[in-house]
Amino acid sequence: MSEPILAPEEIAALMAEVDSGEQTEAIFATLPPIIQPADVKSFQFDGRDDESPERYPMFVNLQERLVEMLDEQWDELFRRDISVQVSSLENLLYRDIISVDAPQVYFVFEAEGYGRILISFDTALIVAFVDAMLGGDGEASGNPQTLSAVEMKLANRIGDKISKTLSDLWGPVHPLEFSLERLDYDPQFLAVTGAMEKCFSTFFDIKLNDELTGQMGIYYPRPFLEPLMDILRVTVSDDTVENDDEWTGNLLDRLSLTQASLRLELGRCQINIGSFLAMKPGDFLPLSTRTTDPCSLWIEDIPLFEARPGEKNGVLAAEIIQPVQHGG
């Protein structure tokens, strides 16, 4: 073995006289050149999260479908066109979600076997919803911070309606039965998930009129969605496929056995809360329907037939006149 050119003590003496920066340059100078790729793409470190909800086509489709469902329901409630649009899809820490300073009303929903999700509304929106439920124009004056006892009670009804909507939304994808667990102004003690858990978060811009706009947020914790991730990755296709007559027949057979709730609506009226609270046995409600007008026969939330109330075999009955004409 050949002897080293410099002894260890000589190397140490030389290194002591060389600046640390010069040492680094000397070390890199001894390395072979690094071959650079022909096409180098820049990387945005603060760009979109690899686990963004937008990477899950079925999840995106569910949010778009939810917009359609809410738009239809709220148009009927407010008796005018309500604008509902998805403003953003984000993957947020639960800790950041519950750190919002703006006045909000928080609804906690649970799906058995999967866990809890959270939905938030600007408080002014809930006040406007309650006003519409009581027959008003669906307005909220000022910047309400909290709800009154009556508003809180009716907000529970709003939550019950949303839970049914969520169940209907997820039904074709995966059966989930949502129920309203609680609502509150302060999200700190709702215990939906851990503070550092990521949540698929969808924000909706809601416009009730030119003066009143607000936002709704829906937050699915990652542990809630974990069993469903493979389903949410499925690409939604609009391609036309061949009909499966056997499958269609089986579906129609199953649908024919499905229970449905029917109701006969005699009419509607609007009165103020004072008059309502003062009502007593023997009082009359002035309905908007005239005695010669047909009534509406509804299945769930859809009017299907015009009907005439009457009696058959000693019980109240409805005689169907004709189907309701939808559209213009």
CATH assignment of the domain containing 62: 3.40.1550.10
Answer yes or no: is 26 within a domain.
no
AA identity, residue 114: Y
Among the candidates 235, 269, 303, a domain finishes at 235
Among the candidates 171, 200, 235, a domain finishes at 235
Does the pLDDT of residue 13 top 60, yes or no? Answer: yes
Answer yes or no: is 102 within a domain.
yes
Mean pLDDT over 245-265 rounds to: 79
Confidence at residue 27, expressed as pLDDT on a 0 to 100 scale: 64
Q: 79 and 206: one domain?
A: yes
What SS3 class is residue 306? strand
Question: What residues does 116 pair with on adjacent strands?
Answer: 110
Q: 68 and 166: one domain?
A: yes
- Which helix (H) or strand (E) element contains residue 76? helix 57-78
Nearest CA among 218, 207, 190 for reference residue 124 = 207
Confidence at residue 314, expressed as pLDDT on a 0 to 100 scale: 83
Q: 294 and 174: one domain?
A: no
More confident residue, 279 or 290: 279
AA identity, residue 161: K
More confident residue, 1 or 253: 253
Confidence at residue 7, expressed as pLDDT on a 0 to 100 scale: 74
Q: 161 and 273: one domain?
A: no
pLDDT-based confidence at residue 43 (cuts at 50, 70, 90): low
Range of the structural domain that residue 163 is part of: 53-235
Q: 185 and 283: one domain?
A: no
The residues near 77 (Cβ < 8 Å, ≥ 6 apart) are 129, 132, 133, 138
Answer yes or no: is 251 within a domain.
no
CATH assignment of the domain containing 284: 2.30.330.10
Answer yes or no: is 147 within a domain.
yes
Q: 272 and 220: one domain?
A: no
More confident residue, 276 or 131: 131
Mean pLDDT over 20-37 rounds to: 67
- Report the domain count for the chain: 2
Strands (E), 161-301: 178-184, 198-207, 213-221, 262-265, 295-299
Q: 110 and 221: one domain?
A: yes
Q: 305 and 183: one domain?
A: no
Mean pLDDT over 202-210 rounds to: 95
Structure tokens at 292: 């010669």
Answer yes or no: is 148 within a domain.
yes
Structure tokens at 202: 């969808």
Q: What percent of the chain has pLDDT over 90?
A: 48
Confidence at residue 161, expressed as pLDDT on a 0 to 100 scale: 95
Q: 283 and 140: one domain?
A: no
More confident residue, 167 or 50: 167
Mean pLDDT over 279-306 rounds to: 83
Q: 180 and 285: one domain?
A: no
Answer yes or no: is 195 within a domain.
yes
What SS3 class is residue 16? helix
Q: 212 and 285: one domain?
A: no
Answer yes or no: is 190 within a domain.
yes
AA identity, residue 302: I
Point out the least confidently predicted range of 4-8, 19-23, 50-54, 314-318: 19-23
Confidence at residue 328, expressed as pLDDT on a 0 to 100 scale: 47
